[in-house]
A and B are shown apart, each in its own frame.
Chain A
Amino acid sequence: MLINYLKVAVRSMLRNKILACINIAGLAIGLTAGIFIYMWIQDELSYDRFHEHAGDIYRVVETQFYRGEPFLVAVAPGPLAAQLKSDYPEIVNAVRIRLNGREILRYGENKFVEKRILFADREFFEMFSFPFVMGDPGKALSDPNCIVLTESMAAKYFQDEEPLDKNLVVNDQLSFRVTGIIRDVPHNSQLQFDCVIPFETLRTAYNQGQNMDNWGSNSYHTYIRLQKGYPYRSLDEKIKNLLKTYYPQSNTEFNLQPLTDIHLYAGNKYAADIGGHGDILYVRLSSLIAVIILLIACINYMNLTTARSGNRAKEIGMRKVVGARKAAIIRQFMGEALVYALIAFVVSLVLVELLLPVFNNLSQKDLSLSLRDNIALYGRMLLIALITGIVSGSYPALYLSAFRPASVLKGTLFSGKKGTLVRKCLVVLQFSLSVILIIGTAVVHYQIRYIHNKQLGLDKENLAYVVLQREAWTRYDALKSRLLEMPSVAAVTRTTELPLTLSSSHSGFDWEGKDPMETILFHVVGVDTGYADAFKMEIVEGRFFAEGFFGDSDAVVVNEEAAEIIGGKESVIGKTITEQGQRRTIIGVLKNFHFKPLQLKIEPLVMDQDPGSYMVIRIHPGDIQTTLAALEESYSEIVPEIPFEYGFVDEDYDRMYRVIERMGVLFNYLSVLAIFVSCLGLFGLASYITEKRTKEIGIRKAYSASVTDIVFLLSRQFLKWVLIANVIAWPIAYIAMKRWLQTFAYRTDMGVEIFVLTSLGAFVIALVTISWQTIKAARGNPVDSLRYE
């Protein structure tokens, strides 16, 4: 019997090749999109789960309060880890880490700037599973001057030499003995580093001892591992107010954050967090979109199969006449849908394999389809295909198995009124989903455009920066005057932190009239006199720091937000604020500029004069590459011993929105796919409906209706559905996208034009799709169509 089903399925596919192709194409496209999204989501969900104790590791984070508002911080005081471990037996171990950038490491002639150095407590490798290739994980960090390298880093310095027990020189001062080699850190690890140095080195060689022992300072990421399966919420409750014991003036709370939640749930909600997070919102959105596209593909299959069921009616009738039960017919058509789904699955695997490089590039991931590593993945993809097949086959199977043999075999066919209504609803649903996707995509792009065009309060274009380390920092003046001689350089300034990524903040400011109960967090940044000009920032009141002004060393400049907090409606120029007893006079107010991603509101900022280690260079627009080469040349002449390290402010800015941009591009592709699959369905349905109305068309033409009349007559019906689909889609898309936009403190408006244009687009696409069928039907000879009946 199975063979009989298969034979019929395959032969009817071959007999209706176009229909079969449309069906398979629709399902294959749906599955391809589904598989890609599935792989992407699986990768996002895999972050930090490779650690043996992943389920029992937590990060200790802080909730600080400023003006009653919670402020989340990813770092904790230095003494916390040891204290927790000694006070709570349920904690197996506690580890502090700090990621440091920019040390110069050397072995013989091999010298590189290392940006991903991890300082970690001794038990780091017991808590986290980074497999050792050489050395002993238990002892690798026990000696103060030792270092553990990844395989890539070892190869970079030692090439073919045996790396163990060799010495690496840091900053030409300290010597570190290699005690272990670990595998390269997998991409799905939140902690990304190339080497590990004992944490205590921060005390001995980096002069951080005082900071490390201070309960009032937060500088270190602290992780704890609990006993297996220990309910972390009960410990969370116990340590919540722990800081009060050691630092009574603070109302900061500690919280535990599961390690496996950090990648997707921390977002950019935590200050001083380690970057590169994903976002659960996008994981959920993508899952939803995958389901939508697969659903559209399934609806396609349902529509086409039931619309074309006339071809199969006789067969179904005959099977029933000879004794087939309804269940047998259901099984047969379910099976047929599964055959389609499996063929589509094979096609989609080929597509996925072909498009994988493109997708990897788009998503910045390194996903692979190699069977060796992914047997489980293949299993689940097959499962997705089977579910798709079952969903696709469900309605056709129920619909077809309900045929009454008495009527189908008589040739009168079924009236099919109910079936037509269901099909119309399905097409409307399909188009609604597509329109929602298109509107969503359009809004995302509007927001991206908004981000790019947003007046930030500073001009981020044509700004290069150079990192000043050690000798370079001391030779700033020489560098500056040399660079200013270059015709392509407009201005040179220096700062402690780049303005789009400010992270230092301070809550100890006081002024006359301040509510003593209130703690307010001010961002602080050190600048020099040319700063405001170089960034093209606007002074709204007073003046900026200037050369030769006596007393400017005690002066500060604040942004509008800070001015409002300090002075309310009144002018703050000349007002004094104190910081740990030191008096500072406000000399100017800068127009607010964005120094955080646009998801966040502008916060108060205080600037003082401080020689920072970023040299910022405003370049005249033009040949950036030549200017950059000239910059490097001048730099190397003045500071030959330190490698030249540079960046562009606008590139850093764009990097903050890379996740959103990537989602934007992904949404583009997905909406195109969705609308394409929907159109396949519409095409199939149009051919069916025009066929059914052949007689009507013949009669109308016999009574001298023109081709235009007929095309209009047929199109009107389809356009009505598309209109209904739009009406359904609009409010849903509006509510959904409004919620998404609310994740931005600064956001674009959802213009009416998005909705109008999307609808127009849907109309045009639908018209073009059905035009081939309708025109063909309208131009037919009425004699043929009447005889046909």
Chain B
Amino acid sequence: MIQTTNIKKIYTTDEVETTALDSVNLNVNEGEFVSVMGPSGCGKSTLLNILGLLDNPTEGTYQFAGDEVSGCSEKERADLRKGNIGFVFQSFNLIDELTVYENIELPLLYLKTPSKERKEKIDAVADRLKIAHRLKHFPQQLSGGQQQRVAVARAIIGDPKLILADEPTGNLDSGNGEEIMNLLTGLHEQGATIVFVTHSEAYAEYAQRIVHLFDGHIVSENMGA
């Protein structure tokens, strides 16, 4: 599913050049559940952005589902993301002006799914994530845990091949955090490929494999629980 070879990412500002990633080689197979750990600033999010096609690497190659994507234009990347990758963020990133229903609906709109089919899908996923009674509410009216469940619903509504989660539990208390991790585990059991970034040793253990990043390098890979 994912195969990166010697990926390098350099950020340049006026005077400073920062190497965020250096020679990262990472393979993730279809159906795998991988967690990425490391201290702040080690390059976790940069890696996730590249894997999620939000950003291009400065050097190296990246094969996504068998296709080379490292040199893709923004337009091509947008088209690849659509329907293939679902994202979950630490700060939920729900759109305040849209209701829960409309937030979940968003990916389907860009996929041009017909209205009736959209409704069926949203109702199904809302049931599954226990937010069906909240569909007409706006994000501000929801608790953090509920908001993150909405975000997960949005991430999986388009049946993506890959789910990327960037510290999805970071803004949640332990109860809600655990719930989200159980959700992800459940999705994995149904066949989803998941890469998620976390600070928490405990949550990292949910994955099949843990990748440790330090100063832009992969320092170790070990199997999880």
Chain A residues at the B interface, C-beta cutoff of 8 Å: 1, 4, 7-8, 11-12, 15, 314-315, 317-328, 404-406, 409-411
Contacts and interface: CB of A to CB of B under 8 A. Distances in A.
A328 B55 CA distance: 19
A322 B107 contact: yes
Given A325-B75, A326-B75, A405-B54, A314 B107 contact: no
Nearest to B164: A321
Contacts, number: 78
B91 interface: yes
Contacts of B43: none
B127 interface: no
A323 B45 contact: no
A317 B49 CA distance: 12
B111 interface: yes
Contacts of B107: 322-323
Contacts of A4: 98, 102, 105-106, 109
Contacts of A317: 93
Contact of A409 (B82, B89, B109): B89
Contacts of B79: 323, 325
Nearest to B89: A409
Interface in B74-126: 74-75, 78-79, 81-83, 87, 89, 91, 93-98, 102, 105-107, 109-111
A229 B108 CA distance: 61
Contact of A404 (B55, B81, B102, B109): B55
Contacts of B8: none
Given A4-B102, A321-B81, A406 B95 contact: no
Nearest to A9: B97
A406 B54 contact: yes
A7 B74 CA distance: 27
Nearest to B108: A322
Given A15-B97, A323-B78, A406-B55, 20 more contacts: A1-B110, A7-B97, A11-B97, A15-B96, A314-B93, A314-B95, A321-B54, A321-B87, A322-B106, A322-B107, A323-B79, A323-B83, A323-B110, A326-B74, A326-B78, A328-B110, A406-B45, A406-B54, A410-B45, A411-B91
B78 A324 contact: yes
Contacts of B145: none
A739 B95 CA distance: 55
B106 A319 contact: yes
Contacts of A327: 75
13 contacts: A7-B102, A15-B97, A315-B97, A317-B93, A318-B94, A320-B54, A320-B81, A321-B54, A321-B93, A328-B110, A409-B89, A409-B91, A409-B93
A405 B109 CA distance: 18
B110 A324 contact: yes
Contacts of B94: 318
B38 interface: no
Interface of B: 45, 49, 52, 54-55, 74-75, 78-79, 81-83, 87, 89, 91, 93-98, 102, 105-107, 109-111, 154, 158
A564 B111 CA distance: 89
A317 B91 CA distance: 13
B82 A323 contact: yes
Contact of B111 (A323, A328, A410): A323
Contacts of A323: 78-79, 81-83, 107, 110-111
Contacts of A15: 96-97
Contacts of A320: 54, 78, 81
Contacts of A318: 93-95, 106
Q: Is the interface of A mostly helix, strand, loop or mixed?
A: helix
A717 B90 CA distance: 37
A336 to B, nearest CB: 12
Contacts of B45: 406, 410
A90 B23 CA distance: 87
Nearest to B48: A406
A4 B96 CA distance: 13
Nearest to B13: A415
Contacts of A404: 54-55
Given A409-B89, A410-B45, A325 B78 contact: yes
A322 B93 contact: no
A248 to B, nearest CB: 80
Nearest to A402: B74
A694 B123 CA distance: 43
B199 to A, nearest CB: 15
Q: Which of A1, A317, A323, A404 has the most CB of B within 10 A?
A: A323
A270 B93 CA distance: 72
Contact of A322 (B74, B75, B89, B110): B110
B81 A8 contact: no
Nearest to B110: A323
Q: Which 5 A-B pairs have the closest CB atoms?
A: A323-B82, A11-B97, A322-B107, A406-B49, A406-B54
A8 B98 contact: yes
Contacts of A314: 93, 95-96
Contacts of A319: 106, 110
A8 B95 contact: yes
B109 A1 contact: yes
A4 B105 CA distance: 10
Q: Which of A12, A318, A322, A324 has the most CB of B within 10 A?
A: A322
Nearest to B46: A406
A409 to B, nearest CB: 5
A726 B79 CA distance: 48
Contact of B81 (A7, A315, A322, A410): A322
B196 to A, nearest CB: 15
A461 to B, nearest CB: 67
B125 to A, nearest CB: 14
B9 to A, nearest CB: 11
A322 B106 CA distance: 7
Contacts of B52: 321
Contacts of B55: 404, 406
A314 B96 CA distance: 9
A322 B49 contact: no
B53 to A, nearest CB: 9
Q: Which of B54, B97, B158 has the most CB of A within 10 A?
A: B97
Given A323-B83, A326-B75, A12 B93 contact: no
Nearest to A10: B97
A314 B98 CA distance: 12
A685 B109 CA distance: 34
A410 B105 CA distance: 22
B97 A12 contact: yes
Contacts of B158: 322
Nearest to A410: B45
B142 to A, nearest CB: 16
A322 B83 CA distance: 7
A766 B198 CA distance: 49
Contacts of A410: 45
Contacts of B91: 409, 411
A315 B93 CA distance: 8
Contact of B97 (A1, A8, A328, A406): A8
B82 to A, nearest CB: 3
Q: Which of B45, B49, B98, B110 has the most CB of A within 10 A?
A: B110
A405 B89 CA distance: 12
